[in-house]
Structure 1
């Protein structure tokens, strides 16, 4: 249950995250716990009410989305992907994939998200799991950060953003980074430029998705991209 509403969320995102969520295990990755919304509609409604007043973004950070769950599961089950490597979790949201990378033995993990509430959620969730994660609070698309591995879950929601993001990810892959993407078939995923690596049945909520088990894939850019 919620610990009670926070009057001015923008003034203290960390307090808002803790007040509006519960610490719960992730369905496909139960070894990780996150500050999650116990029910989806109340927190969406609350952020919508605040949106016009203070520009509060949708609470993507309050849910364990299918692509992130699949990617986190894959990383934990195949730790060699990240072990001893410098890892970026792009558009991190809750920080789930970053935490999985830390648990799998990455030498360093950075979690990038431009939403201040996501940044607070990542920090809180990393602490709850004893994970060492550094939050990046700026738009890094286009940057070359020296990462060995780049992880990205659920990034194909919007056409223009997807075009920009996937072009950048492909350039990182061409430069030697190992890029992994988790996605359940969102509208703007460029399937023809990716190679499927694994498939998972991810438990989700019908309030947010079209089924209770979402068929979700882990992808990598094609070598020729």
Structure 2
């Protein structure tokens, strides 16, 4: 079964009438297989709601943070050109695909969800790029120039990962629209950008404001050099 057929079958199990459509992302040259916006316009019955909550199909949306990263890389290809890149929590693969389009030497889409990796495969084919795939970030070697992270802080438990990203890459570029009290000594904010999840979920305006953060390993090493030695 092709990746697209696998995704359609999984989506149909959640919502019988749901279908995937290839959609152009606004202000980009990219296309993704996304859930048809018409499927989001009706009310869900209790059983459908239960299934969606138990196994959210994150991979059939392009979340605002991922869209911001894709646009940023298209406008600033020097961030990835000729570099080895890993997209953490890749979801639909939009950031990974944008990195490949911008001239990255290698791009690995990493996600725990097998369906997300299938979505990355289907979307990579749709955009005619090649990606590598990984289901376990911590099994990857410390060999990447840049770790991309988009919209993984919706669960505040994931804030602990901020200290881990630099264990596999020399730099991190992170986009987030959820954490309003973001504070971390390794990360500095590059800017605040506007984007809307596709298809539009009519999210509050605050979730359309995406912060872009940057960290690099040299900062971590410098910070450690100023910390007191532990016994």
TM-score by length of 2: 0.76
Is 1:167–2:163 an aligned residue pair? yes
**1:34 aligned residue:** 32
**2:131 aligned residue:** 133
**1:4 aligned residue:** none
> Number of matched residues?
208
Aligned mate of 1:184, from 177, 199, 210:
177
Distance, in Å, in 1 between the alignment partners of 2:71 and 2:99 is 10
**1:195 aligned residue:** 188
Is 1:24–2:23 an aligned residue pair? yes
In 2 relative to 1, CA 82–17 (structure 1 residues): closer, same or farther, beyond 3 Å? farther
Q: 3-state DSSP class of the match of 2:213?
A: strand
Give RMSD over aligned pairs. 3.3
When Rg is computed on C-alpha atoms for both structures, the one with the higher figure is 2
Aligned mate of 2:208, from 203, 209, 214:
214
Distance, in Å, in 1 between the alignment partners of 2:98 and 2:186 is 26
Shift of 1:37: 1.3
In 2 relative to 1, CA 86–170 (structure 1 residues): closer, same or farther, beyond 3 Å? closer
Gaps of 5+ in 1: 1-10
TM-score by length of 1: 0.78
In 2 relative to 1, CA 140–208 (structure 1 residues): closer, same or farther, beyond 3 Å? farther
Distance, in Å, in 1 between the alignment partners of 2:181 and 2:114 is 25
Distance, in Å, in 2 between the alignment partners of 1:82 and 1:26 is 20
Shift of 1:192: 5.5
Shift of 1:201: 1.2
**1:88 aligned residue:** 86
Distance, in Å, in 2 between the alignment partners of 1:214 and 1:161 is 20
Q: Decide which moves more: 187-196 or 124-133.
A: 187-196
Gaps of 5+ in 2: 13-17, 224-231
Aligned mate of 1:119, from 117, 132, 135:
117
